[in-house]
């Protein structure tokens, strides 16, 4: 006579365990498949997110930002309201910074037109690692930074895109902190 027990394997998988000595060794560990599938799904989503960032960058845009490089500063203020700080006050050289990080995770640099977009998207920041970026996009045209920060620079059409990574622990794959998009000649 064979006893049948219901056993939960993993989060979504239910299996029947036959408690006969002849059938027990045949049971496979299906819990390994759930995490692998989830990992593959997340990996695919991350790849698509990086590809989307690069595709938009070639158009002077970044995800979830309705403005592109060259948009009049007045349009940004009209659509998003006055920034947290910046509009006319905080100036660096001849440029103005528009800081919307408190509600849009975005800041801009503009004189009369948008020159630079800095995006700190929480979804991208959780997913994108330095090694994954290099795997998807390839070798950057430049790498620089400090002991705590690494900048990977890529060309995207007539634009330059910098991915800024925060190095928290040595030996860990650094996570994305900020994406910076500018015209190609901005950093010269």
Within a domain: 43: yes
Within a domain: 18: no
Within a domain: 22: no
Residue that is written with structure tokens 């060794």 in the block:
25
d(CA 153, CA 42): 24
pLDDT tens string 93-150: 344 788 888 778 888 888 889 999 999 999 899 899 999 999 999 999 999 998 899 9
- Phi, psi for 16 (deg, rounded to 5): -100, 125
Report angle CA 144, 149, 154 to the nearest 5 degrees: 45
User: For position 2, what pLDDT does the model report?
Assistant: 45
| Cβ-contact 98, 85 below 8 angstroms | no
User: For position 85, what pLDDT does the model report?
Assistant: 65
Within a domain: 8: no
Domains held by the chain: number: 1
| Cβ-contact 135, 127 below 8 angstroms | no
User: For position 115, what pLDDT does the model report?
Assistant: 93
pLDDT tens string 10-67: 333 333 333 333 333 333 333 344 477 887 888 899 999 999 999 999 999 999 999 9
Within a domain: 19: no
Within a domain: 156: yes
User: For position 101, what pLDDT does the model report?
Assistant: 81
Length of the chain: 188
| Cβ-contact 118, 107 below 8 angstroms | yes
* Domain enclosing residue 168, as ranges: 32-183
d(CA 20, CA 4): 9
Within a domain: 104: yes
d(CA 118, CA 83): 14
More confident residue, 183 or 42: 183
21: left (phi over 0), alpha (psi -120 to 50) or beta: alpha
Burial class (CB in 10 A: 0-12, 13-18, 19+), 78: exposed
The yes-or-no verdict on residue 7 having pLDDT over 80 is: no
Q: DSSP character for 37?
A: H
Within a domain: 54: yes
The yes-or-no verdict on residue 8 having pLDDT over 50 is: no
């Amino acid at each position: 006579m064979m006893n049948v027990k219901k056993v939960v394997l993993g989060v979504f998988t239910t299996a029947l365990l036959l408690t006969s000595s002849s059938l027990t060794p045949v049971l496979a560990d299906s819990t390994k498949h759930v995490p692998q599938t989830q990992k593959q799904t997340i990996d695919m989503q991350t790849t698509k997110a990086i590809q989307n960032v690069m595709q938009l960058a070639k158009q002077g845009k970044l995800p979830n930002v309705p403005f592109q490089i060259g948009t009049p500063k007045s349009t940004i203020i009209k659509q998003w309201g006055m920034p947290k700080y910046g509009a006319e006050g905080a100036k660096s050289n001849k440029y103005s910074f528009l800081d919307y990080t408190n509600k849009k995770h975005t800041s801009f640099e503009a004189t009369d037109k948008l020159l630079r977009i800095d995006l700190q998207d929480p979804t991208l920041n959780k997913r994108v690692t330095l090694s994954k970026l290099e795997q998807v996009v390839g070798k950057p045209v430049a790498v620089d930074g400090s002991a705590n920060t690494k900048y990977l620079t890529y060309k995207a059409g007539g634009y330059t895109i910098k991915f800024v990574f925060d190095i928290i622990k040595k030996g860990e794959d650094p996570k994305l902190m900020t994406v910076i998009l500018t015209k190609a000649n901005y950093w010269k």
